[in-house]
Chain A
């Protein structure tokens, strides 16, 4: 089957029920999306399908319809996305393992909610687990990212 990831189309020969996460990681070598729980509890595996955040551990590859973007396709060290830029400005990551998912969740949230209130940020970002406790900086970075995206 064909899969478009970060603008490149790949041919993959896997069973349709394999979760997208493992197709990306083990078949295509795209390791930005992480395995944390496999049961939709942590959000470390978050990617975008046509701009919308999805948990790739829950999405069977046979059901994928649309363009997939992973953290690697959102921005690069040389050309950062505004959310990544804000994350670096606030020095959010500790171990960093949850942060691909946090950043992908925030990027999609800020498309649908460009000027979020504190409460909206809390609601939107609470589905992503961070065992290191980086939550205060995530809050601050989402606000900064919103301002950056709004050209402020």
Chain B
């Protein structure tokens, strides 16, 4: 416990600042290099603090800068502060605040270092803390990479603790008692005689009191909120009563409504357009060319979408291959091509020698493009005036949006305000901002009037910036009933440079680790073990999709490992355990065996089960899937899952993220893909882009271990093992080994 306290004192300087009518607690900023995010809300001259807690006579406000896309981030951030502050978080106002560079995310880049996450040796750790520096430089207030919990775990609790002790000091000064004799409870300082003083009554005086910064964090055994099974999410009542206002629900006086159609060949330009039909339609106010497309501003979203559909636009060509067949040919050609060689971060033993003779087992895998398709289509509300630009949107990248809007409008970045809205899902889609750029362009055409632009579902799916397609060639060998050699070569277009290129208008040099993330970094001691990434040319512009590189590599790596184990005649679970060289991961594999009563893959006639393992974002996850081959097709009966991401702070929401991740992984593996014809995805709505429905959902049993030395996020790591565990189970039940996703191209599902 004091270990955490010491780290905190060394790394963060929590302080306080006076605000109008009260006090704010938060991190002091090194040399004030980064401007303060709540500048507009704070009294002058107090800009040197990044507040996480604000208290005035009217109440307590908790500031939770990491975006909540549905994964419960606001609740967990509020609970971390409230645990030390001794308040009921339901009585506080919880707000993401204004985005500011001081909320930089030091963890999201930390996984980009060339060390597997299980390697916590001195060099790896030094590299990881070094990576926090470029994150700060880039001023990334990014939510992603399952980084919210690891990044907030210490600093938000420290903010709560400093606030609590300072409020006690104010009460001590007032009453003449010693701070040590006071305690706190439910928003009050409690005196030895049992009388109470509310924090709100102490706030004004706290502003003039030096903050008490020599505090230690409470031991987890003392927690009242964190780790407790029945802690409700703060947004649950609103989300079950239709009273949560998402970005798409944002409303303003005099607001107009809009929609956009951009070139379905992504990045292609507009040759020309005829708006005659659209112009005369009811409610249409303006027709405005925007980047790569045309927008309609109207008095109602439906009318805007109707008018967009009536536009006659001639599109220029996109500069990538027109069809899926050509795209996959290009990906396959990259593998083994010296010019396309990108990186080899795993090269143990001598693979070439090991595979020079004897029986070599070979296989190739194929992964499709996938849309993120959160249920809320992308939207934004923007008002541009002569000297300010205001943006209301659900986003993971508010600062990139601010800077891009400044560029488009010519308004200084300090006068661009991004108000982050509650989000109807993301899965990585909100790491993009094309829809916001388009809305800014529309709003500039009707200065002073707010414009809410909503993409139709068809526009959203067409412009999804999908998960990259990937292919791989695998070779391996078994000796004496054991896996002896494993060689995987993966071909994919670069995701990181595609994304950064759009965000920052610059290309990122160097290798793209996402091509092999989820393969090269797995904790197995195979004697001859090699993973190579080949970078195919840029094709369809691509982006991060829930669990990023591991979403495809998890399938290819574990799928081929399963093939080798089968060829060796070994038990799939026992051999994975034998090969596993990482203690925490091995315990996860052993525990999934206990949970599922593992006794081989055979479950009787027409039934079977498979196991899969993937470590991503530092979290080892093992899953066992049980299926029945019914007359109607494959039915997924049951899934067992064991994870280890360190201490669990919110068990109910944690379980929701684990089961949600599994269902997301299974559903897309079963039936989802984007295929291309004429540069366009052939799927643009949920009739053709299929995923899992309730009746197909298995019973899921999960268990969380906490042997891991670090706390990690759980929003993504349960996705990667689901697809290979399902494919391995189908193999056990039917003898059919499926190496190309989606699975329903090869077998039907009940």
Contacts and interface: CB of A to CB of B under 8 A. Distances in A.
A133 B375 contact: no
B115 interface: no
Interface stretch (B68-76, B167-175, B405-413): B68-76
A26 B685 contact: no
A133 B693 contact: no
B236 A88 contact: yes
A95 B685 contact: no
Interface in A67-86: 70-72, 75-77, 80, 84
A83 B297 CA distance: 39
Contacts of A130: 375, 694
Nearest to A80: B241
Contacts of A19: 302
Given A26-B301, A99-B240, A135-B697, A36 B375 contact: yes
B338 to A, nearest CB: 41
Contact of A97 (B282, B376, B656): B376
Interface string A18-32: 110110011101011
Contacts of A97: 70, 246, 374-376, 424-425
B301 A93 contact: no
Contacts of A150: none
Contacts, number: 182
Contact of B686 (A21, A37, A92, A126): A37
A35 B248 CA distance: 9
A84 B457 CA distance: 27
Interface string B402-426: 0000000000000000000001111
A83 to B, nearest CB: 9
Contacts of A27: 300
A84 B241 contact: yes
Contact of A134 (B69, B232, B660): B660
Nearest to B697: A135
Interface in B301-353: 301-303
A131 B656 contact: no
A50 interface: no
Interface in A86-118: 87-88, 91-100, 103
A59 interface: no
A136 interface: yes
B375 A26 contact: no
Given A41-B685, A42-B686, A131-B425, A35 B660 contact: no
B110 to A, nearest CB: 26
A44 interface: yes
A63 to B, nearest CB: 15
A22 B302 contact: yes
Given A42-B375, A97-B375, A136-B699, A31 B663 contact: no
A129 B242 contact: no
Contacts of B543: none
B718 to A, nearest CB: 10
Contact of B659 (A18, A25, A125, A133): A133
B99 to A, nearest CB: 20
A131 B427 contact: yes
Contacts of B667: 133
A139 to B, nearest CB: 7
B243 A91 contact: no
Contact of A129 (B235, B375, B699): B375
Contacts of A34: 246, 248, 375-376, 424
B645 to A, nearest CB: 18
A72 B301 contact: no
Nearest to A95: B70
Interface in A108-152: 122-123, 125-139
B241 A136 contact: no
Contact of A126 (B242, B246, B695): B695
Interface residues of B, number: 63
A77 B238 contact: yes
Interface string B227-250: 000001101111111111110110
B663 A88 contact: no
Given A38-B457, A44-B375, A136-B697, A72 B240 contact: no
A26 B237 contact: no
Nearest to A15: B282
Given A39-B685, A80-B241, A129-B375, A91 B662 contact: no
Could you say which of B375, B456, B697 has the most chain A C-beta atoms within 10 Å of its C-beta?
B375
B695 A123 contact: yes
Given A36-B375, A95-B376, A136-B697, A103 B240 contact: yes
B700 interface: yes
Given A31-B249, A88-B232, A93 B374 contact: no
Contacts of A14: 300
Contact of B239 (A39, A99, A125, A136): A99
B661 interface: yes
Contact of B454 (A35, A77, A103): A35
Nearest to B239: A96
B691 interface: yes
B2 interface: no
A37 B371 CA distance: 14
B687 interface: yes
A136 B240 contact: no
Interface string B287-308: 0000000000000111100000
Interface in B619-671: 652-653, 656-657, 659-664, 667
B423 A91 contact: no
A100 B376 contact: no
B373 interface: yes
Nearest to B233: A91
B302 A84 contact: no
Nearest to B232: A91
A94 B232 contact: no
A84 B240 CA distance: 6
Given A37-B686, A103-B240, A94 B302 contact: no
Given A34-B246, A126-B695, 10 more contacts: A38-B456, A87-B240, A88-B237, A91-B653, A95-B423, A96-B70, A96-B235, A96-B240, A103-B240, A133-B664
Interface of A: 14-15, 18-19, 21-22, 25-27, 29, 31-39, 41-42, 44, 70-72, 75-77, 80, 84, 87-88, 91-100, 103, 122-123, 125-139
29 contacts: A15-B282, A29-B251, A31-B251, A33-B242, A38-B456, A42-B686, A70-B242, A71-B241, A72-B242, A75-B241, A77-B237, A77-B243, A84-B240, A84-B241, A88-B240, A91-B652, A93-B233, A94-B70, A94-B657, A95-B376, A95-B424, A95-B426, A96-B70, A96-B240, A97-B246, A99-B240, A129-B375, A134-B656, A136-B659
Interface of B: 69-72, 232-233, 235-246, 248-249, 251, 257, 282, 300-303, 373-377, 423-427, 454, 456-457, 652-653, 656-657, 659-664, 667, 685-687, 691-697, 699-700
Q: Which 5 A-B pairs have the closest CB atoms?
A: A32-B242, A95-B70, A97-B424, A96-B239, A133-B663
